[in-house]
Structure 1
Amino acid sequence: MTEKKVKEENTKPAGKTLSLSGKTLSLGAGGGSSSTSKTPASKVAVEVRRKRIVPTKSTSKEDTRLTSGEKNARARALEAALAGTSKKKELPKRRVMTLEDKKAKEAEEEATRAKIEEAEEKTRLESEAKNRTIPERPAPAKEEHKRVKTFSNEDSKPVESYRDKIKKNATKPPPRTTGDRRGGRITISQAINKDYDRDRGPSLAAQKRMREKARLAAQPFQAPQEKSVREVVLPETITVQELSNRMAEAGKDVVRALMKMGVMATGTQTIDADTAELLIEEFGHKVRRVTDADVEIGLDDIEDKEEDLLPRPPVVTIMGHVDHGKTSLLDALRSTDVVSGEAGGITQHIGAYQVELSSGEKITFLDTPGHAAFTEMRARGADVTDIVVIVISASDSIMPQTIESINHAKAADVPIIIAINKIDLPDANPMKAKQDLLQHEVVIEEMGGDVQCVEISAKNRTNLDKLEEAILLQSEILELKANPNRDAQGFVVESKMEKGRGSVATVLIQKGTLRIGHVFVAGAVFGRVRAIIDDKGNNVKEAIPGQPVEILGANGTPSAGDIFNVTSEESKAREIAEYRQHRNKESAAAKAITGRTTMEQILAKREAGEVTKLPVLIRADVFGSIEAITGSLTKMEEENEGIEIQVLHTGVGGITESDVILANASGALIIGFNVRANMKARVLADHEKVDIRYYNVIYNVIDDAKALLTGMLPPSVREEYIGQALIKQVFNITKVGKIAGCDVSSGSVKRGSKVRLLRDDVVIHEGMLKTLKRFKDEVKDVKEGQECGMAFEKYDDLKEGDIIECYEIIEEERVVQ
């Protein structure tokens, strides 16, 4: 059956059969099958393609001419080649091939190839000389990387195919690098077969650079661009990176320039405007300095036209000494009782009132407190006023506060009107007051001067009409005018926080007209006007120049003395208020840093003596009282050396828990003026042992502060001279030391007192007296004209003729003035 099947397959043109080890294999291009006789037809046939080992007929003349000698020569060459490859394999795997190793390897391969070609040429010549017999061809030598094909029979030997021999003899084509973007790369098959050239040409990056260079060379010549000069907007502070961005310069160049200037700063650090300006000029740019205060530009620098100005009421400030009748005069002018509401009969707050005369004209009065505690408030009143009325008692004449009032009025360049009050008293002497004014360069009209003087009695309302006429006459001379048709501008006279009403600010309008709904900014506070209340307590819709009103609607309590301005937009008012708050915080921080104790200050204080600190926290109902208390404490500090009053915090309103916490942390005293602490603050103060003191008269605050500082002050130390003695002879006693035999020349000498040793009128030692003996007995003191023996503690350098001076240190209690 097998033979029949083999014959049938032999008849097919596409395949041949071969019997190996009793099995039939089909060798062919595609249609043959190989299987045993029992294999079904559906099985897949195994195809094996190979070259015939010994061809029946050879077409190569070179192969038929090989003799046994040639075969032996080729075998030896093959063995030599195989021996060489085995040596190569024994080399370490990770050896780095250098250029010399590469050249040596190429030379070795070239020598081996030359030997093989020489042997082949020699054998070929020998075979041509002999008879042309066709022996069996041996297996040729083969390179290591070529594939060796063998059969499974024992007779089969490795041979080199004809295709391999052609590839070996063929010349390799040059690498394809030109015109091919992948010319610098190799494939996997090239890497396995080592079919590549090490010199692969330029890389892709090199080709890209060459193309870019050629493109630039083809372009026409362009002149270098000139550096653009920029206008750099420079704020007060700026970071280095932001400055480099505004100059369009590299950050590293800016940092390098700063280093040359001696400023070590990174890109995120902040530099000041002066340093930045020098840097900008160095880089050749222009500088435009701006500040955060630019938000206030155009707020109060509007100039009014002459045709828009209209007459306005004069603003009169009443000044004078304590109890000279200022408030009584204003009460008589207003026909209201203001004094009854004041604690102790002394005006505590600045009051702003407007009086309408019988003729229809109006006068605005500012009543400033008269005693020394309100010096700053009085100075602020003089700055906003048009006329100053100085009230002088006819019985007391000129007093210290009267002199201060005159100085404030002169400093403000404000005209003065003298009102001599209390002419109804029996001891009244108006002429003395007029003469005393000459000492302060105030010459009234009766004495040839230009200052008006009116003798009045506020109690009996005598000559009040003459005082009003003098005020109106002075205002006509001043030609007081203002533009009512513009945004309002004024001056905060007083501010306070009231329950149910919020922040209440007393404002004196100077320019423009204020209406309900206007947006305003006063100092670091802004808001919208919710209500306008005049001095009589009536709600009004608008306030004209020269009129004092109370305003509700601020988001906080402005400070007394702040400028009041109306803005067109709420956003602008908020921006201005935020800038002013930030400015105030920076100034407070700068003061805190300046107030920190340095080593030099510590040494100076140590040399000058210990400084006593009294930290206080002040809460009052209005800002004017806070300023008065602060000014009094500051004056006390200036007049007494060795004390320091530190005002930690001030505020308007009641005492809160935060105030108690701050006072407890700082060991401060809380002063409440016309205010009280709430329940939580009182409980916390009792628990933390914080001292809260309440007052309604400023004199009591000053007296208590003096008492506190007096108890805290260290006693003053003074030296009291006792006497001196002359050393007549020095005795050296065993186990005791040197003892000076002295004669008391003046005063007395006491045991335990301090002594100085004088030699040639020069102090050479100061110490304590250890022993004082008269004859052999210890005594407490020795009188003048007596002899004694003395010894010093831890000092023995005593000589005849030295003088011993004895003194005591006495401590005395200091009193704050």
Structure 2
Amino acid sequence: MEKRSPIIAVMGHVDHGKTTLLDCIRKTSVVMREAGGITQSIGAYEIVYTPAGADKNVARKITFLDTPGHEAFAVMRSESVKVADVVILVVAADDGVKPQTLNTLEYLKREKTPFIVAINKIDKQNANVEKTKTDLANAGVYLEGFGGSVSWHQISAKTGDGVPELLDITLLTSDILGLSCDSQADAEGIVLTSKVDGKQGNIVGVVVKNGTLKEGTAISTNTAAGKIRRIIDSTGHQVKELIPSAPALILGFGAPPLVGEEFKTGKSSDSAVRSCLVKTETAAGNERDKKMPLIIKANEAGSLEALKNVITKLCEKFPLCVISKGIGDIYENEAKLALQTGGIILGFNVKIDKAALNVIRAHGITAISSDIIYELEKSIEEFFSGNIKHDFRKIKILATFGGPGGKEYIIGGKVIKGPVRNQEPFELWRNIKPIGKGKIINLQSGRKDVSEAGESMEVGLLVSSDMPMREDDELMFEDK
């Protein structure tokens, strides 16, 4: 067995300086300063660092994982805790312990992952390190010198003050763990990112935990498999092989694997190699009729999980149902599915294909897209809040019958909120959005003509409508 370089996850609440710290650390390595955006594609990068007091020839490699702080990325944070040997928990001295801090601490406790606390933003005038220590103690984290044994250091990621000392503590912690590997074994590791590129196919970011990753070998996870065609290291260079703890991009998977999945290479993965296609999941018809159908797309697997988390939260407020999900840009097929089902399209960090855009514009399909998760969440919530009319008077259609023809229909329904009056105009709603307009021609209850019907009454109606009607549609009436 050989000594292995540490894999470090930097985690913390949004805006606590996690990304600034990662950028500061990246600048300590000349190679990484020249690597550009490749590290964002992988979700990790590797630096070469010389500890304080060590000979310049004794440089150490450290791999850093980048995990988004927004709550929608909870799955990615959970997986990072599993992958990392040590976690640096960033807490802002001007803000203290926040929801994602507590969220991360739960993961650390569950996985029993060693961690170090970096109290950041000490350069700010309102920084209060002592209060931050107290907040941490209240959360069950007792720092060294403050009644506990958790290593910590105060830093300013903005100025770089304290960052070298933090790296020294990180290396010391990893040395105590005695990390080792077998470089002669078939490679094993974890999927960090997964996305579909129109030209290159499936591009997968990984970190190697054991063995040597080699070009040309079979590779598989529980959900995807293939043969490695190219390996691109964290500096953006194509390489033939990769040693343990190193991050890289892999081309060759037949389908995009899930973020957090373990991969294996060599003979152990041969039986798993199979034809893999990008799949979409379709909800049952009954559920689709009762809820707003959603078609969701994201640029990579981690982003798709984040979007699903946003929708799960919104499902507590609105009747929504994901009927299709996938990785990659929005294409004509998604637009046609939205047209067929009356659904809407949600995209995170993706583009809309020209053919899809033509269908969307021609048929007035709703498509909401953004590159920033919290802006997308806000836009989605505003859309549904504006379209669900809780205060409207309405009739729910229980049955439709043969009618005079043309644009006139005979329907049976129930008044959900009344009163509803004869000869009133209405909007026709399906899947919590308006699809047409009409007017009551005749209103009956108990087979007798009535001028109005109150709440909970069952009614028969002859109506005119510019759109065909079906069971579970709703007639919405504005309050006068």
Spell out the pairing of 1:55-454 with structure 2 (5 A cutoff). 309-335=1-27, 351-358=43-50, 359-454=58-153
SS in 1 for 2:63: strand
Structure 2 match to 1:652 = 327
Deviation at 1:694, TM superposition (A): 2.6
SS in 2 for 1:442: coil
**Whose radius of gyration is greater, 1 or 2?**
1
Spell out the pairing of 1:707-726 with structure 2 (5 A cutoff). 707-715=382-390
Q: For residues 348 and 698 of structure 1, what CA distance do their matches in structure 2 show?
A: 16
- Find out whether 1:681 has 2:353 as its counterpart: no
Structure 1 match to 2:308 = 630
Deviation at 1:422, TM superposition (A): 1.0
CA contact (8 A) 1:494 1:505 kept: yes
Q: For residues 431 and 621 of structure 1, what CA distance do their matches in structure 2 show?
A: 42
Could you list the per-position Cα deviations for residues 191-240 of structure 1 after superposition, in whole angstroms to 9, with x for gaps in the alignment?
xxxxxxxxxxxxxxxxxxxxxxxxxxxxxxxxxxxxxxxxxxxxxxxxxx
The alpha-carbon distance between structure 1 residues 341 and 479, as it changes in their structure 2 partners (threshold 3 A), is closer
CA contact (8 A) 1:349 1:368 kept: no
Deviation at 1:426, TM superposition (A): 1.3
Instruction: Read off the aligned partner of 2:72 and give its amino acid letter.
Output: A
CA contact (8 A) 1:350 1:624 kept: no
Spell out the pairing of 1:580-659 with structure 2 (5 A cutoff). 592=283, 597=286, 613-638=291-316, 640=317, 643-659=318-334
SS in 1 for 2:319: strand
Deviation at 1:633, TM superposition (A): 1.5
Structure 2 match to 1:47 = none
Deviation at 1:341, TM superposition (A): 7.2
Q: For residues 360 and 204 of structure 2, what CA distance do their matches in structure 1 show?
A: 31
Instruction: Read off the aligned partner of 1:315 and give its amino acid letter.
Output: I
Q: For residues 553 and 699 of structure 1, what CA distance do their matches in structure 2 show?
A: 32
Q: For residues 372 and 341 of structure 1, what CA distance do their matches in structure 2 show?
A: 24
Deviation at 1:401, TM superposition (A): 1.3
SS in 2 for 1:551: strand
Deviation at 1:597, TM superposition (A): 4.8
Q: For residues 271 and 222 of structure 2, what CA distance do their matches in structure 1 show?
A: 13
Q: For residues 681 and 635 of structure 1, what CA distance do their matches in structure 2 show?
A: 28
| Structure having the larger proportion of residues in strand | 2
Structure 2 match to 1:495 = 194
Q: For residues 117 and 387 of structure 2, what CA distance do their matches in structure 1 show?
A: 45
Instruction: Read off the aligned partner of 1:677 and give its amino acid letter.
Output: I
The alpha-carbon distance between structure 1 residues 489 and 341, as it changes in their structure 2 partners (threshold 3 A), is closer
Could you list the per-position Cα deviations for residues 710-730 of structure 1 after superposition, in whole angstroms to 9, with x for gaps in the alignment?
23434269xxxxxxxxxxxxx
Deviation at 1:684, TM superposition (A): 2.3
The alpha-carbon distance between structure 1 residues 350 and 528, as it changes in their structure 2 partners (threshold 3 A), is closer
The alpha-carbon distance between structure 1 residues 495 and 459, as it changes in their structure 2 partners (threshold 3 A), is same
SS in 1 for 2:134: helix
SS in 2 for 1:568: helix
CA contact (8 A) 1:350 1:367 kept: no
Spell out the pairing of 1:33-72 with structure 2 (5 A cutoff). none
Q: For residues 363 and 348 of structure 1, what CA distance do their matches in structure 2 show?
A: 17
Q: For residues 693 and 666 of structure 1, what CA distance do their matches in structure 2 show?
A: 17
Higher relative contact order (CA 8 A, sep 6+): 2
The alpha-carbon distance between structure 1 residues 513 and 570, as it changes in their structure 2 partners (threshold 3 A), is closer
Deviation at 1:435, TM superposition (A): 1.0
Structure 1 match to 2:214 = 515
Structure 2 match to 1:672 = 347
Q: For residues 570 and 630 of structure 1, what CA distance do their matches in structure 2 show?
A: 30
Q: For residues 197 and 8 of structure 2, what CA distance do their matches in structure 1 show?
A: 27
Spell out the pairing of 1:785-796 with structure 2 (5 A cutoff). none
Deviation at 1:475, TM superposition (A): 0.9
- Unaligned stretches of 5+ residues in structure 1: 1-308, 599-610, 718-766, 768-807, 810-817
CA contact (8 A) 1:348 1:369 kept: no
May I ask how many residue pairs the two structures share in their alignment? 389
CA contact (8 A) 2:42 2:248 kept: no
The alpha-carbon distance between structure 1 residues 569 and 378, as it changes in their structure 2 partners (threshold 3 A), is closer
CA contact (8 A) 1:349 1:369 kept: no
CA contact (8 A) 2:191 2:205 kept: yes
Deviation at 1:620, TM superposition (A): 1.9
SS in 2 for 1:631: helix
The alpha-carbon distance between structure 1 residues 481 and 571, as it changes in their structure 2 partners (threshold 3 A), is closer
The alpha-carbon distance between structure 1 residues 570 and 383, as it changes in their structure 2 partners (threshold 3 A), is closer
SS in 2 for 1:445: coil
- Find out whether 1:506 has 2:184 as its counterpart: no
Deviation at 1:391, TM superposition (A): 0.4
SS in 2 for 1:546: coil
Deviation at 1:436, TM superposition (A): 0.8
Structure 1 match to 2:254 = 555
SS in 1 for 2:325: strand
Could you list the per-position Cα deviations for residues 85-120 of structure 1 after superposition, in whole angstroms to 9, with x for gaps in the alignment?
xxxxxxxxxxxxxxxxxxxxxxxxxxxxxxxxxxxx
The alpha-carbon distance between structure 1 residues 348 and 470, as it changes in their structure 2 partners (threshold 3 A), is same
Structure 2 match to 1:226 = none
Q: For residues 170 and 269 of structure 2, what CA distance do their matches in structure 1 show?
A: 39
Q: For residues 37 and 188 of structure 2, what CA distance do their matches in structure 1 show?
A: 31
Structure 2 match to 1:470 = 169
Deviation at 1:481, TM superposition (A): 1.2
- Unaligned stretches of 5+ residues in structure 2: 51-57, 393-418, 420-454, 457-480
The alpha-carbon distance between structure 1 residues 348 and 520, as it changes in their structure 2 partners (threshold 3 A), is closer
CA contact (8 A) 1:398 1:433 kept: yes
SS in 2 for 1:446: coil
Deviation at 1:433, TM superposition (A): 0.5
CA RMSD of aligned residues (A): 3.4
Deviation at 1:636, TM superposition (A): 2.3
Query: 2:263 is matched with which residue: 561, 564, 570?
Result: 564
Could you list the per-position Cα deviations for residues 621-671 of structure 1 after superposition, in whole angstroms to 9, with x for gaps in the alignment?
222221111101211223x3xx22211222222211111111111111112
Deviation at 1:531, TM superposition (A): 1.4
Deviation at 1:507, TM superposition (A): 0.7
The alpha-carbon distance between structure 1 residues 341 and 525, as it changes in their structure 2 partners (threshold 3 A), is closer
CA contact (8 A) 2:17 2:92 kept: yes
Deviation at 1:499, TM superposition (A): 4.2
Normalising by structure 2, we get a TM-score of 0.74
Deviation at 1:367, TM superposition (A): 1.0
Deviation at 1:357, TM superposition (A): 0.6
The alpha-carbon distance between structure 1 residues 318 and 430, as it changes in their structure 2 partners (threshold 3 A), is same
Q: For residues 208 and 37 of structure 2, what CA distance do their matches in structure 1 show?
A: 26
| Structure having the larger proportion of residues in helix | 1
